[in-house]
Amino acid sequence: MQLLNAQTLARLSGVKLRARAVMEGVLSGLHKSPHQGQSVEFSEHKEYAPGDELRHLDWKAFGKFDKFYIKRFEHETNLRAVMLIDASASMGYSSGGLSKLEVAKVLAGTLAYLLVRQQDAAGLAVTHGSSCSDLPPRSAAGHLTTLLETLEGLSPQGTTDLAAAADHLAEKVTRRSLLCVFSDLFDDRPDGLRRLLQLRARKNDLAVFHLVDPSELSFPFDDPTLFLSMEDERRLEVNPREIKQSYLEELGAFLAESRKACAEADVDYELVRTDEPLDSVLLRFLARRQGRRR
């Protein structure tokens, strides 16, 4: 599988990924820093007024115009982004095309590529059940290769434990970062998503990519079916036609609840069907973030 297909990258090349909030960074980049004056990027001239720092006085301008002008600079920072991949067994479900995990890997890899390309730092966190592994954010080109190889090696296993992933990220991400969560959110624990959204309270920027298979959305089964759980031993023999209406109501309520929880926590929420074009998913996401920044 080619994670970063040329077509997708070509359509995303004109897009500037900008963080919504001002973040601390060491390296200058495309992202605006709240600390003016530390960058070498000239911004504008301002007529001197008492109190201004004399070290910013533009002597060349004084020589030309015989007036004092203060030079002002717009300092740029680096963005730190961490891609949290839910690699539980339910993410391996596929009704024909890409599985949810595969889609998550493509989306996370593409975003990491874009970030590193504009010299931002991209990291990776993977959750399998209660255990988590991570790759710290870096902006080096070599790091991107490592990150992509790690993504390539992921396989679905274990249960979904969003609370454990949230705890892990809270411990590891000490600086303000963009956290992109790729998951189907099928966590039987009632507070999993809520714990994850609490990371927003720690000044992190959070985006949730909710991955859903088309069959999970439409429940297109007719014949009596023995449904097997992908994460545990649960199983159920049922006539799908008899419960279809009820299932769709339950799932609709879950999706609505997830969207509402994200909105209340000021978190970007993107419902991703695994059969829709991924470039359009990313374009929609980036366009929304750019719009929010303005």
Binding site for another protein (CB under 8 A): 90-91, 93, 100, 184, 186, 188, 213, 216, 221, 223-230, 234, 236-238, 242-243, 246-247, 249-251, 254
CB of 190 to another protein, least distance (A): 12
Choose between 53 and 223: whose C-beta lies nearer to another protein: 223
For residues 158 and 89, the answer to whether their CB atoms sit within 8 Å is: yes
Angle, CA 254 vertex, CA 250 and CA 258 arms, to 5°: 170
Output 76 or 187, the one with its CB closest to another protein. 187
User: Can you read off the two tokens belonging to residue 17?
Assistant: 């990924």
Distance of CA 89 to the CA centre of its chain: 21
CA–CA distance, 234 with 231 (Å, rounded to integer): 8
Least distance from C-beta 214 to another protein, angstroms? Answer: 12
Which DSSP string do the residues of 184-202 spell out, in sequence order?
----SSTTHHHHHHGGGGG
Question: Toward another protein, which CB reaches closer, 102 or 213?
Answer: 213
Instruction: Quote the least distance from Cβ 98 to another protein, whole Å.
Output: 14
Residue pair 232/159 in contact by the 8 Å Cβ criterion = yes
How far apart (Å, rounded) are the C-alpha atoms in residues 20 and 25? 14
- Closest to another protein by CB, 90 vs 150, is 90
Identify which of residues 87 and 199 has a Cβ nearer to another protein in the complex.
Answer: 87
* CB 199, min distance to another protein, A: 24
DSSP 64: H
User: How many other CB atoms are found less than 10 A from the CB of residue 288?
Assistant: 15
Query: Rounded distance, CA 39 to CA 12, Å?
Result: 28
- Closest approach of Cβ 258 to another protein, in Å? 13
- CB of 44 or CB of 249, closer to another protein: 249
Nearest-angstrom CA–CA distance, 133 and 121: 18
Nearer to another protein, 230 or 261 (CB): 230
DSSP 92: G
> CB of residue 3 vs another protein: minimum separation in angstroms?
22
CA distances from 121 to 115, 142, 143 (A): 6, 12, 9
Closer to another protein by Cβ: residue 136 or 214 = 214
Q: Minimum distance from CB of 159 to another protein (Å)? A: 12
What is d(CA 161, CA 231) in angstroms, rounded to the nearest whole number?
11
Q: Closest distance between another protein and the C-beta of residue 268, in Å?
A: 23
- State how far the Cα of 200 lies from the Cα of 157, in Å rounded to an integer: 27
End-to-end alpha-carbon separation of the chain, Å?
37
